[in-house]
Structure 1
Amino acid sequence: MTPAATPAVHLSDLRLDRGGRTILRGINLSVQTGSITAVLGPSGSGKSTLLAALTGELPPAAGTVELFGQPVPQRSHALLEMRKGIGVLLQGNGLLTDLSVAENVALPLRAHTKLADALIRRIVDFKLNAVGLRAAAEAYPRELSGGMARRVALARALALDPPLMLYDEPLTGLDPIASGVIMSLIQRLNDTLGLTSIIVTHHVHETLPIADQALVIANGGLVFSGTPAELEGSADPLVRQFLRGEPDGPIAFDAVKRGVAA
């Protein structure tokens, strides 16, 4: 496989266990560099567990996880170095309330680089400008709307210029307008910065328009992989049940019977 053809993420026969239970099994997946992939599925299906495997938080019980052609390392130092190349946007933003917006964005730069303060300030200005919040640099998280706080968290996730971005339910708690702003921003940043983005979400209709690839996780495995158009045109009863939000169908909503959890 040539470097140009090396996928950003490659999973082979992946099995993930938590607490002695198998959460996901038989996952085979490639995510192409520069693409946006939507990982969809009902709550408790294992979507966040999959992200934990990509960051190295959860080692595989079986199979392999590769990022840009390299296995996710097990040793702490090598894993820390690998994580510098992954930006993660969390559901709860994770902003420190006692720090200003600019100070929050500067945190990864101060923790992982030896750059001079003047250069860090310039990078922070650039990242905040990229998300449309340069004027809010001296504000504090408590002074921001939900959508603004999410954009600050995105700027911080981009601070180290990671080639891979992971979004864990980026629209949680946002109104329709703020949701539209965030999805548009994700697409624009992915294109302009040459990122690869993986979006874990149950917000189907907001996410599919910007996605190149759509995945559906349910019943302990990957039940669909294809383009958004193929997903919306699928006649698979399981896929149709999820897209339509129907309570009855092949996707079990009893966590005990399903035996999986996120």
Structure 2
Amino acid sequence: MSNGALDFETSHIAATLEQGRCTVDVDITQVMLKDSLDITATDRERILVACRDCAQERVVITHGTDTMAETARLLGEAGLAKTIVLTGAMVPLIMRHSDGVFNLGGALTAVQCLPHGVYISINGEVFSWDNVVKNLDLSTSVSAKTIISTESAPAAIGPYSQAVRVDNTVYCSGQIPLNPETMQVETQDFAEQAEQVFKNLQAVAEAAGGACSDFVKLNIYLTDLSNFAM
């Protein structure tokens, strides 16, 4: 292990199922052995093809937690007529006190009960593919997100949301000095532009159950804005 990345040489899924005395009839297909930090768009397409082409209607995917939500999103958007459950572990299966055995068992149970769709099952919870993000701050790996929306502030540009709430934190997208009532942009006076921006932020904050004074300014340079997707 180096900087959070793992090296993989062999799969431990069969041994884990045997250890758990699993009585479910399981066919194991190894698509790749790879740290999820290193999974590429091409790799995700391989996972999608494997899910699409397999004969089984119910599929469990073991996947690293760092990019699990990204793979779940690709599978979810594909709309396959199958039940697909992704799971993983914060502590790898081969290490002591791993949560992987528990999570794999939970995923095997969930995939037998859920309707068609793509889900993440982890830490005793099940999330839909479009309602989950990686949580980098907590010991758990994923958290549900809530879309924040209000007509009292301009809509976000593109397919994104004005804000999302993950646990107790609200992440607000950038605002422009556009008056949502007149649909006019303040362009003349800087003070008026700033005032309109803060009015918009206040409206979003109130929609999220807070106030503009609760915001902490963060400059985040995003390479993937999917967490703001509607």
Task: Work out which structure has the larger RCO, using CA pairs closer than 8 Å and 6 or more positions apart in sequence.
Answer: 1
**TM-score (ref. length: structure 2):** 0.29
More strand by share: 1
More helix by share: 1
- Please identify the structure whose Cα radius of gyration is greater: 2
**TM-score (ref. length: structure 1):** 0.26
